[in-house]
């Protein structure tokens, strides 16, 4: 085991990290920081329920060891999304369009959607499908 | 953030925003694994290493430090080692000396402070077995059924008989016979199964976790745990998807966790990871179904003989009722006066199959809707005109002798779907195995048409008497409102929202003053399990009537208390009497609670008095109501690679009154997507080692956002008038019929019928190039 | 403690530091890049190693250099970054297409070209597209850098030609020039699928005659393979329907795929030929 100390920004807030280097980012967020919005659906990088933004890129936090995230890394989780205007609008759209059913995949879905917007601010339906294909949903499909 | 439409009295039929969505989009909703329990142990289940064998001994490794580990075996079961499901054969944990009947059958539960320690300890328990030869698959069982029927081991038999089959075949001009197969399907809720069990000081247990049917464990674990129903309290946590997977199985999880919890006096939590969840929880039953049908030249179906055999796995659990629903749907949608349908549940040495959305009906409809196309083809009739000719409509008699009422929108569904999808025109473009001008891929279009019986089979609802309570109370904000107290669980389908809509309309109360707390058997009457497409129809009616009861009580109180007996009406969240200043709901509610103590509206569901059912002969009214649907699938098959894409799906549904069209459409699209997976991707079988061969998300393939076709979903409304607001079943219907519509579309694309699902490129290759391919069954 | 937490992971800041760690048996660790294969394997039952050496974001591995005839792509370049590196797209279209089929976007943001190659799965998505370039793998160690032709890189099922003290530095990939490339992956679904089979091709045709052909397949053998017999058949020949049919047939008889959870041997063998046809019909 090796332990790392790092300074990240999580949802805009500076965080001092001290953890085993091999701890999964998902566990660090949920167990150490209490950010339970990211979910574990498979633990094998397949379902996307644990998706968070790492330096603006959506990644599955269940297969990211915390030691690989350098000082200054910026992480955005579902808890931080509503602090951004685009995030709030996106959440509202999910509500109004009936996108939510059981809700378990939704934090990951919203993160992946949020990551798409800067690259493609007004995506047509067909452009939304590929970036969400890494978020499995069994209720709405 | 939630901008629920806050006008009362007219929410039914509106797309009200989900009451639970705000927490879900903000990541605030706490599912089981998001709840921090202190002082809890983690449980790990130790399992049989063989599919079948004599359980000789459970040997702990003497070198391992067992001091901080709790091990519970069958010897720790306080009472009789049997879980009540639909029979009394399945033990909670296997006993030394007995026979292990499936790979993964639980033999012990290990609990420790961390899941890692518990897992390590479990690995130091050696399960000694003497292996016996297993019968692993339905294919093996059917081989026996065909060759030596007396040796075929069925856990439950049931026949449906109508008319005179021999006479029917004698009257036929042609006889068409075929067999259809389908494999396992995994529910694949994204939240895995899990439960926490707290042992309480009075000897009772409190169980908290993800499930559909809070009262099941209350009544199924009394014998092994030696606890009466009132000492098993079950609370629902938010459910991250269920689809039947969290119907009967959570009882087992609670049983497993309860043993070390009772032994140690500490709470024990068991949560599965994805791999364990896929390997060791129930699946949809594989099916083999054979139809033999007699038809006249004009298309009249004179005789129908059907054998419907499910793979039940090693124990019956609830498979009898799955088979019942299956045979009741085997020939439901078409006119036929002479028929025999024989249902059987094969016993195999594999994990017991269980509930999955549709509950036997998708397997039945898969066979029947493929077969109807095959008959139409033999008759030289287009599949849609043949269905228009043969389908049942109000006044027709079902296989069990039920006369269909006017509240069956069968024809409307069929006609609207055909018209909306331009079926007849598009069918002319079908490739039939030869690319037409301008086509680079084989194009095909296929139709299915079917019903789904809503609510419990037969007189189930009459016997069950679903109960519900509308409770006047101070809500979380300290102000008065109403709690919906029923045992229906929110699992994504939207029951918290639609019951809020129903209650709001029935009470004429602002929905913001209505709450639907998570089901808790300590607080809710038994309105039954959240299954069988019964929730909106049956429990929705209970909520509606109990709300009316509460409204009556409050109006009568207000009339006496403030208006000298003048007629008083609760409307727009106010109590009004003629020429008096109206009083707010809050004022009246506060006064009533102060002066009366607890105030509740009640209702108990009844079926119409003339409903009849004979459970032995399967004659009578098999369901209180029927939902209907027609599905049309369009497919493209690449001749180069045999890859199959479903490009468009049209679905028209009669689910009675649509309470919330946005939620309904979402549920239909999701169900169709699950059915799409069943039809073309989700392949799973029992391997030679007794384990499912696809056991991870890398190998069990479900549709992604790139695989879903364009959906065109329409509703026609034929409400169930006996039980306002008149919803019929919705949850299962979209799962029922897409697979045969796709298989029919494939037939129209390549001119060959595939009789096994899922239909994969490998199967299409074998069909199109038989010389080169192996003959998959 | 979860299994991966027990691993002693080191985070060298430079390539030199990483090479020093890998040079000695008692400091050497499993090389860990984006973790999209290894973290999954360790989560699903493969015992994790005592030591790992992280190469994630190591600056020397994350560069792309476009040269006159070829392109150097650092082993640490992610699939997502390949997608964004527009200037190289026209030179290596098959590779870009292949990278876009790796997992979903979340995996593409983590998975690296070097990691995909080192994982040495016969189903590795980028391998056939690398093979058809005829390029090399640059392997670094304290002894210096050596080039191994991609054709010789995958030596057996999940085995590569790198020594334990070596780190994949980069891929030297000749540009396609006037050749035409094609990549096609057949999976069980349209996104996020491990391939049943895939094919990449780089074929140069002038005046109806095939000047050169490189065709590679994945998931039909213990390693990704070049279809050398088919290439030999095609080279120098006029592109005719009968040649296409011959090539299709030869591809089908020259591969010996196995059946597994993802597909059947028969289908793989047949579709191998079909993908060769597809390549030749789209020149």
Give pLDDT tens digits for B531-574. Answer: 999 999 999 999 999 999 999 999 999 999 999 999 999 999 99
Give the Cβ contact number of residue A68 at 10 Å.
24
Q: How far apart are CA B613 and CA B616, in angstroms?
A: 9
User: Quick check: A66 contacting C, CB < 8 Å?
Assistant: no
> How long, in residues, is chain B?
777
**Residues of chain C contacting B642 with CB distance shorter than 8 Å:** 267, 271
Measured between CB atoms, which of C193, C266, C277 is closest to B701? C193
Distance between B81 CA and the closest CA of chain C, angstroms? 33
Largest CA distance in chain C: 65
Spell out which residues of chain B touch residue A135, defining contact as CB-CB under 8 Å: 705
A19, A48, A53, A59: best to mutate for the C interface, most C CBs within 10 A: A59
**Cβ contacts of A81 on chain B, cutoff 8 Å:** 26-27
Give the count of beta carbons closer than 10 Å to the beta carbon of residue B619.
18
DSSP class of residue B581? -
Decide if B26 touches A, using CB distance below 8 A.
yes
**Minimal Cα–Cα distance from A19 to chain C, Å?**
9
Q: Which residue from B717, B731, B722 is spatially nearest to B656, judged by alpha carbons?
A: B717
Q: CA nearest B626: which of B413, B340, B354, B338?
A: B413
Using the 8-state DSSP alphabet, how is residue B269 labeled?
Answer: E
The tens digit of pLDDT for each residue in C155-196 reads: 999 999 999 999 999 999 999 999 999 999 999 999 999 999
User: Is A89 an interface residue toward B (CB < 8 Å)?
Assistant: no
Q: Please, are residues B214 and B520 in contact by the beta-carbon 8 Å criterion?
A: yes
d(CA B496, CA B483): 11
Residue C106 has its nearest CB partner, among A22, A23, A48, at: A48
Distance CA C146, CA C149 (A): 10
Give the C-alpha separation, B122 to B110, whole Å: 6
Q: How far is B540 from chain A (nearest CA, A)?
A: 19
Distance from CA of A2 to the nearest CA of C (A): 5
Q: Phi, psi (5° rounding) for residue B325?
A: -65, -35
pLDDT cut 90: percent of chain B above it:
97
Give contacts of B 58-87 with A, CB under 8 A: none
Pairwise CB contact (< 8 Å): C191 & B705: yes
What angle, 0 to 180 degrees and rounded to 10, lies between the N-to-C axes of helices B738-750 and B761-768? 40
pLDDT-based confidence at residue B772 (cuts at 50, 70, 90): low
| pLDDT over 60 at B4, yes or no | no
Q: Which residue has the tokens 């970054």?
A: C81
Residues on chain C touching B699 (C-beta within 8 angstroms): 261-262
User: B160, B166 in Cβ contact below 8 A?
Assistant: no
Tell whether C267 is within 8 A of chain B (Cβ).
yes
Residue C278 forms contact with B (CB below 8 Å): yes
Task: State the burial class of residue B738 (Cβ atoms within 10 Å of its Cβ: 0-12, 13-18, 19+).
Answer: buried
In the Cβ-directed half-sphere of B72, how many Cα atoms lie within 13 Å? 28
* Whether the predicted pLDDT of B773 surpasses 70: no
Whichever domain contains A12, its CATH number is 3.10.20.30
User: What average pLDDT score do residues B275-295 get?
Assistant: 98
DSSP β-bridge partners for residue C149: C136
Beta-carbon separation of A63 and C39 below 8 A: yes
Kindly determine whether residue B761 and residue C193, on different chains, have CB atoms separated by under 8 Å.
Answer: no
Q: CB count, 10 Å around CB of B730?
A: 29
Write down how long chain A is.
141
Q: Nearest-CA distance from C66 to chain A in Å? A: 25
* Cα–chain center distance at B510: 32
- pLDDT number for residue B9: 53
User: How many CB pairs lie under 8 A apart between chains A and B?
Assistant: 160
- Cβ contact A65–C9 (<8 Å): yes
- Interface contact C2-B116, CB threshold 8 A: yes
Of B187, B240, B672, the CB nearest to A104: B240
pLDDT digits (tens, 9 = 90+) for B437-466: 999 999 999 999 999 999 999 999 999 999
- Beta carbons within 8 Å of C195's beta carbon, 6+ residues apart: C123, C125, C185, C186, C187, C218, C219, C262
Nearest to B121 by CA among B195, B43, B55, B196: B43
Instruction: Give the whole-number percent of chain C exceeding pLDDT 90.
Output: 98
DSSP letter, residue C112: B
Q: Which domains does chain B have, with CATH numbers?
A: 21-30+466-604 (3.30.365.10), 34-133+188-279 (3.30.365.10), 287-457+616-768 (3.30.365.10)
C227 vs chain B: nearest CA distance in angstroms? 19
Which class for B28: exposed (0-12), middle (13-18), buried (19 or more C-beta within 10 A)? Answer: middle
Percent of chain A at pLDDT above 70?
100
- pLDDT digits over A75-92, tens only? 999 999 999 999 999 999
Burial of B604 (0-12, 13-18, 19+ CB in 10 A): middle
- Alpha-helix runs per DSSP H in B103-137: 115-123
- Tokens representing residue C272 in the block: 């191998």
The structure tokens listed for B171 are 């009257």
Contacts of A130 in chain C (CB under 8 A): 105, 191
The predicted complex's ipTM stands at 0.98
Q: How many CB atoms lie within 10 A of CB B587?
A: 14
Longest dimension (CA), chain A: 47
Nearest partner of B415 among B444, B391, B445, B379, judged by Cα = B391
User: Does any domain span residue A141?
Assistant: no
What pLDDT does residue B5 have? Answer: 38
- Nearest Cα neighbor of B635 from B765, B441, B768 is B441
Taking only Cα atoms into account, the Rg of chain C, rounded to an integer number of angstroms, comes to: 19
Residue A141 is predicted with a pLDDT of 79
Residue B8 has pLDDT above 80, yes or no: no
Q: Tell whether pTM > 0.90.
A: yes
Helix (H) or strand (E) holding B650: strand B644-654
Say whether B289 sits in a helix, a strand or coil.
strand
Mean pLDDT for C250-275 is 97
A95 touches chain B (CB under 8 A): yes
Q: Could you give the CA distance from residue C140 to residue B363 in angstroms, rounded to a whole number?
A: 58
Instruction: Give the number of other Cβ atoms within 10 Å of residue B578's Cβ.
Output: 9
Q: What are C10-38's pLDDT values in tens digits?
A: 999 999 999 999 999 999 999 999 999 99
A104 occurs within a structural domain:
yes
pLDDT per residue over B52-89, tens digit each? 999 999 999 999 999 999 999 999 999 999 999 999 99
Say which DSSP state A63 is in: G
What is the full DSSP assignment across B625-644? EEEEEEEEEEEEE-TTT--E
Residue A139 lies in a domain: no
**What tokens does B446 get?**
């296929």
Q: Which residues of B touch C (CB under 8 A)?
A: 114, 116, 275, 640-643, 645, 681, 693-694, 696, 698-699, 701-707, 760-762, 765-766, 769, 772-774, 776
For B686, C243, C247, C259, C266, the CA distances from C253, given in Å and listed in that order, are: 32, 15, 10, 16, 11
**Count of domains forming chain A:** 1
Pairing of strands B174-182, B756-757: parallel
Residue B673: helix, strand or coil by DSSP? helix
Q: How many C-beta atoms surround the C-beta of residue C142 within 10 A? A: 12
Residue that wins the pLDDT comparison between C228 and C44: C228
- Test A138 with B702 for CB contact under 8 angstroms: yes
Cβ–Cβ gap B28/A37 under 8 Å: yes
**Please, is A122 exposed, middle or buried when counting C-beta atoms within 10 Å of its C-beta (0-12, 13-18, 19+)?**
exposed
What gap in Å lies between CA B327 and CA B769, rounded to an integer?
35
Q: Is A104 left (phi over 0), alpha (psi -120 to 50) or beta?
A: alpha
Of chain A, the end-to-end C-alpha distance in Å amounts to 40
Q: Which residues of B371-402 are buried (b: 16+ CB within 10 A; e: fewer)?
A: bbbbbbbebebbbbebbebbbbeeeeebbbbb
Taking a C-beta distance cutoff of 8 angstroms, is the pair B457, B325 a contact?
yes
Q: Is residue A61 part of a domain?
A: yes
Asked if A134 lies within 8 A of C192 by C-beta distance, the reply is yes
Up-side HSE of residue B187: CA atoms within 13 Å toward CB?
28
Cα separation of A62 and A51, whole Å?
A: 8
Pairing of β B442-454 and β B467-474:
unpaired
Mean pLDDT of C197-213: 98
Residue B697 clears pLDDT 70, i.e. is over it: yes
Buried b (16+ CB within 10 A) or exposed e, B658-675: bbbebbbbbbbbbbbbbb
β-bridge partners, C112: C78
Instruction: Establish if A140 belongs to a structural domain.
Output: no
Q: Do B704 and C189 touch (CB under 8 A)?
A: yes
Which pLDDT value is given to residue C28? 98
Q: Is the pLDDT of residue B138 over 50?
A: yes
Helices B761-768 and C265-281 cross at an angle (nearest 10°) of 80
Tell how far CA B338 is from the center of its chain.
30
Q: What is the rounded CA–CA span in Å between residue B88 and residue B703?
A: 38
Q: Is the peptide bond before C174 cis (omega within 30 degrees of 0)?
A: no
Mean pLDDT of chain C: 97
Q: Are B426 and B722 in contact (CB under 8 A)?
A: no
Chain B residues near residue C191 by CB distance under 8 angstroms: 704-707
- CB contacts under 8 A, C 169-228 vs A, are 190-192
**Residue B276: Cβ within 10 Å count:** 18
Q: In terms of DSSP H, where are the helices of B302-428?
A: 319-328, 361-379, 383-390, 410-420, 423-427
* Residues B643, B548: Cα–Cα separation, whole Å: 55
**Cα–Cα distance between B705 and A113 in angstroms, integer?**
12
Residues of chain B in contact with residue C251, where contact means CB-CB under 8 angstroms, are none
| A contacts of B702 (beta carbons < 8 Å) | 136, 138
Testing the interface with A: which of B705, B708, B738 to mutate, by most A Cβ within 10 A?
B705
pLDDT at B774 over 90: no
What domains are defined for chain C?
3-54 (3.30.43), 60-174 (3.30.465.10), 181-281 (3.30.390.50)
Domain that holds residue A8: 3-132
Which residue of chain B has the CA closest to C185?
Answer: B641
Residue B777 binned pLDDT confidence (cut-offs 50, 70, 90)? very low
CA triple B288-B294-B296, angle to 5 deg: 145
Of A2, A21, A59, the CB nearest to C106: A59
Segment C93-147, tens digit of pLDDT: 999 999 999 999 999 999 999 999 999 999 999 999 999 999 999 999 999 999 9
């Amino acid at each position: 085991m090796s332990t790392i100390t790092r300074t990240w920004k999580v949802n805009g807030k500076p965080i001092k990290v001290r953890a085993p280097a091999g701890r999964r980012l998902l566990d660090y967020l949920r167990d150490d920081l209490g950010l339970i919005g990211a979910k574990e659906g498979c633990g094998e990088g397949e379902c996307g329920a644990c998706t968070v933004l790492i330096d603006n890129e959506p990644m599955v936090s269940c297969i990211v060891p915390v030691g690989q995230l350098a000082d200054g890394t910026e992480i955005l989780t579902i808890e931080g999304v509503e602090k951004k205007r685009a995030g709030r609008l996106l959440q509202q759209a999910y509500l109004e369009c009936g996108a939510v059913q059981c809700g378990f995949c939704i934090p990951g879905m919203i993160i992946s959607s949020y990551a798409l917007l800067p690259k493609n601010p007004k995506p047509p339906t067909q452009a939304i499908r590929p970036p969400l294909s890494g978020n499995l949903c069994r209720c709405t499909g | 953030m939630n901008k629920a439409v806050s006008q009362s009295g007219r929410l039914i039929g509106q797309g009200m925003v989900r009451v639970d969505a705000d927490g879900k989009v903000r990541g605030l909703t706490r599912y089981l694994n998001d709840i921090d329990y202190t002082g809890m142990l983690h449980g790990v289940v130790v399992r049989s290493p063989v599919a079948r064998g004599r359980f000789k001994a459970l040997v702990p490794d003497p070198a391992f430090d067992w001091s901080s580990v709790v091990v519970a075996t069958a010897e720790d079961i306080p009472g009789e080692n049997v879980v009540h499901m639909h029979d009394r054969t399945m033990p909670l944990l296997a006993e030394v000396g007995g026979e292990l009947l499936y790979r993964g059958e639980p033999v012990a539960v290990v609990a420790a402070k961390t899941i890692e320690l518990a897992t390590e300890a479990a690995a130091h328990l050696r399960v000694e077995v003497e292996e016996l030869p297993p019968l692993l698959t339905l294919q093996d069982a059917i081989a026996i059924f065909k060759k030596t029927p007396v040796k075929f081991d069925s856990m439950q038999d049931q026949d449906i008989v109508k008319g005179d089959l021999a006479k029917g075949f004698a009257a036929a001009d042609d006889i068409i016979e075929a067999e259809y197969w389908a494999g396992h399907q995994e529910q694949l809720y994204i939240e895995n199964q899990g439960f926490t069990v707290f042992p309480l000081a009075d000897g009772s247990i409190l169980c908290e976790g993800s499930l559909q049917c809070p009262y099941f464990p209350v009544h199924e674990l009394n014998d092994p745990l030696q606890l009466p129903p009132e000492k098993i309290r079950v609370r629902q946590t938010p459910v991250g998807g269920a689809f039947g997977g969290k119907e009967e199985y959570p009882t087992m999880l609670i049983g497993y966790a309860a043993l070390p919890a009772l032994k140690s006096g500490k709470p024990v939590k068991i949560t599965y990871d994805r791999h364990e969840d896929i390997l060791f929880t129930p699946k949809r039953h594989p099916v083999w179904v054979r139809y033999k049908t007699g038809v006249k030249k004009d298309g009249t179906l004179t005789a129908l003989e059907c054998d419907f055999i499910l793979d039940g796995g090693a124990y019956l659990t609830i498979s009898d009722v799955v088979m019942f629903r299956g045979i009741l749907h085997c020939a439901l949608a078409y006119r036929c006066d002479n028929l025999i349908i024989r249902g059987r549940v094969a016993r195999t040495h594999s994990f017991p199959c269980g509930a999955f959305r549709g509950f036997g009906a998708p397997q039945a409809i898969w066979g029947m809707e493929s077969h109807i196309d095959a008959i139409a083809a033999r008759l030289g009739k287009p599949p849609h005109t043949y269905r228009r000719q043969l389908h049942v409509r109000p006044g027709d008699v079902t296989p069990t002798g039920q006369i269909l009422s006017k509240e069956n929108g069968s024809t409307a569904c069929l006609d609207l779907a055909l018209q909306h999808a331009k079926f007849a025109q598009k069918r002319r473009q079908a490739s039939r195995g030869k690319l037409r001008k301008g086509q680079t891929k084989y194009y095909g279009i296929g139709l299915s048409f079917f019903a789904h019986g809503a609510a419990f089979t037969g007189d189930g609802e009459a016997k069950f008497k679903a109960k519900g309570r509308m409770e006047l109370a101070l809500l979380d904000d300290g102000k008065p409102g109403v709690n919906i107290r029923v045992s229906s669980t929110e699992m994504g389908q939207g029951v918290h929202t639609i019951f809020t809509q129903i209650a709001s309309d029935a009470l004429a109360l602002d929905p913001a003053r209505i709450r639907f707390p998570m089901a808790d058997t300590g607080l809710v009457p038994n309105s039954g399990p959240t299954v069988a497409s019964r929730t909106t129809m049956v429990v929705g009616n209970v909520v509606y009537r109990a709300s009316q009861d509460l409204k009556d009580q409050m109006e009568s109180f207000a009339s006496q208390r403030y208006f000298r007996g003048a007629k008083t009406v609760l409307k727009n969240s106010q109590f009004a009497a003629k020429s008096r200043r109206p009083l707010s709901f809050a004022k009246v509610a506060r006064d009533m609670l102060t002066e009366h103590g607890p105030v509740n509206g009640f209702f108990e569901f009844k079926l119409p008095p003339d409903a009849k059912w004979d459970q032995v002969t399967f004659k009578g009214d098999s369901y209180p109501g029927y939902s209907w649907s027609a599905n049309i699938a369009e497919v493209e098959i690449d001749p180069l690679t045999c890859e199959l894409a479903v490009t468009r799906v049209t679905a028209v549904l009669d689910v009675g009154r649509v309470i919330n069209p946005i939620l309904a459409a979402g549920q239909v699209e999701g169900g169709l997507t699950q059915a799409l997976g069943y039809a073309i991707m989700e392949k799973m079988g029992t391997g030679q080692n007794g384990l499912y061969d696809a056991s991870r998300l890398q190998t069990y393939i479900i549709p992604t956002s790139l695989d879903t076709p364009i959906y065109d979903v329409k509703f026609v409304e034929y409400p169930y008038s006996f039980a306002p607001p008149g919803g019929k079943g919705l949850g299962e219907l979209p799962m029922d019929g897409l697979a045969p519509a796709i298989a029919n579309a494939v037939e129209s694309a390549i001119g060959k019928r595939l009789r096994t699902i899922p239909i994969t490129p490998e199967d299409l290759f074998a069909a199109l190039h038989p010389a080169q391919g192996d003959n998959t069954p | 403690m979860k299994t991966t937490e027990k691993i002693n992971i080191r985070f060298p800041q430079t390539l030199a530091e990483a090479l020093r760690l890998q040079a000695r048996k008692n400091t050497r660790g499993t090389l860990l890049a984006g973790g999209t294969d290894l973290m999954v394997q360790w989560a699903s039952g493969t015992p994790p190693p005592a030591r790992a050496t992280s190469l994630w974001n190591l600056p020397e591995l994350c560069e792309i250099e476009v040269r006159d005839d070829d392109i150097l792509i650092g082993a640490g370049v992610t699939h997502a970054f390949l997608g964004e590196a527009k200037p190289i797209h026209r030179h290596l279209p098959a590779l870009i297409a292949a990278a876009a089929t790796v997992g979903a976007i979340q995996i593409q943001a983590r998975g690296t070209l070097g990691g995909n190659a080192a994982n040495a799965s016969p189903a590795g998505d980028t391998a056939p597209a690398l093979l058809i370039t005829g390029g090399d793998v640059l392997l670094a160690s304290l002894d210096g850098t050596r080039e191994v032709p991609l054709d010789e890189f995958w030596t057996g099922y999940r085995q590569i030609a790198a020594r334990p003290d070596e780190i994949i530095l980069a891929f030297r990939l000749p540009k396609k020039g006037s050749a035409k490339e094609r990549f096609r992956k057949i999976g069980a679904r349209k996104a996020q699928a491990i391939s049943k089979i895939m094919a990449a091709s780089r074929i140069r045709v002038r005046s109806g005659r095939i000047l050169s052909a490189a065709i590679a397949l994945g998931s039909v053998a213990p390693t990704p393979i070049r279809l050398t017999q088919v290439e030999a058949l095609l080279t120098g020949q006029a592109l005719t329907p009968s040649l296409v049919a011959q090539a299709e047939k030869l591809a089908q008889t020259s591969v010996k795929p196995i059946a597994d959870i993802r597909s059947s041997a028969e289908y793989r063998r047949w579709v191998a030929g079909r993908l060769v046809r597809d390549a030749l019909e789209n020149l």
